Amino acid sequence: MQWGKPSRTAWAAAAHRAAHQVLEQGRIFTDPLALRILGEDAETVARKAAERPSGRKMRIFIAIRTRFAEDAIAAALEHGLRQVVVLGAGLDTYACRSPWGDRLRIFEVDHPATQAWKRQRLLDAAIPIPSWLTFAPLDFEHQTLPESLAAAGFDSSQQTFFTWLGVVPYLTEEAVWSTLGFIANLPNGAHVVFDYSDPPASLSVEARIMHERRAVRVAALVEAFLNYFDSNELQAKLKALGFSEVEDMGPPQIAARYFPNRVGTLPDKGGHILRATTRGHQTTGKG
Ligand SMILES: C[S@@+](CC[C@H](N)C(=O)[O-])C[C@H]1O[C@@H](n2cnc3c(N)ncnc32)[C@H](O)[C@@H]1O
């Protein structure tokens, strides 16, 4: 990211969510605040999306990852979840749309410059900041997540759900594993949902060309892709860290769940959406 400037990929992701509301009527993921936080009207959003039809795949992927994460939060609420951390929140509106009220505390962690810009966007769009939302500024590369969360009043003894959407590819592997290590070590269980990409060398020629074009575009926004993961290695490392349950959806699994009619028509490699859960390791003192 450019020092002192808000993330431009955060704007791009929000524009995709807004375009999904207009062009697909929010069929995969409904967000009534998506246009408002962007500050653009439906015609402008649709026109910009039409100027770059190749953006459709990414738009649908972003709608799916957000839907998947929010569905997983709703499922965890049934099992006692009371705390969510949105890592690298960008212009994500979950906290402002949360139907759970004070039942669910939400922390938004993001680069200080992006977070200040988001707060201004919320103000400009007259979207109130709800009582259950707390902002926690953090630069993943230079500060630690526990410090930032502790300063914001995070309760590390609570089961917690972390969403980390569209952020991991932009971080160094060191920053990624240090964050996952923190999550894995929370004493009363934690969940994390994040997305990542297969290594470019494993992609089909067509997908690799698309990926390389996107890499050039994001690098021009001063937010280069810094990492890719081999699924088997990633899953093994997550298990070794203490994540007992790992659900890793690559393109075939994503298609099976969200587009059952298109199974077999999508490539095997590409973007993944992963959910990992720990059961916690706090002892009861019994026995
Ligand atoms: C592509 S945006 C995704 C935003 C949001 N999660 C979404 O899905 O719309 C990437 C986010 O990662 C954040 N980010 C990138 N590098 C970061 C860093 N070193 N420290 C903190 N946040 C960072 C940016 O500020 C931005 O909000």
pLDDT tens-digit series, residues 114-159: 999 999 999 999 999 999 999 999 998 888 999 999 999 999 999 9
Strand runs (DSSP E) across 8-152, as ranges? 83-87, 105-110, 133-137
> How many whole angstroms from 284 Cα to the centroid of ligand 1?
37
Q: What is the pLDDT of residue 287?
A: 33
Cβ 139 under 6 angstroms from ligand 1: yes
Per cent of the chain over pLDDT 90 is 77
Atom of ligand 1 minimally distant from the CA of 90 = 27
Tokens of 152: 């914001």
CA 89 to ligand 1 centroid distance, Å: 6
Q: Probe ligand 1: pick from 91, 170, 217, max atoms within 8 Å of CB?
A: 170
Q: Is the CB of 166 under 6 A from ligand 1?
A: yes
Higher pLDDT, 284 or 240: 240
The model carries a pTM of 0.93
Mean pLDDT of 40-54: 94
Q: Is beta strand 271-278 parallel, antiparallel or unpaired with respect to 245-249?
A: antiparallel
Which secondary structure element, helix H or strand E, spans residue 146, and what is its range?
helix 145-151
Reported as a single tens digit per residue, the pLDDT across 169-222 is 999 999 999 999 999 999 999 999 999 999 888 888 888 888 888 888 877 766
- Give distance in angstroms: CA of 169 to centre of ligand 1: 10
- Quick one: pLDDT at residue 263? 66
In sequence order, what are the residues at sequence separation of 6 or more whose Cβ sits closer than 8 angstroms to the Cβ of residue 144? 178, 182
pLDDT over 70, % of the chain: 95
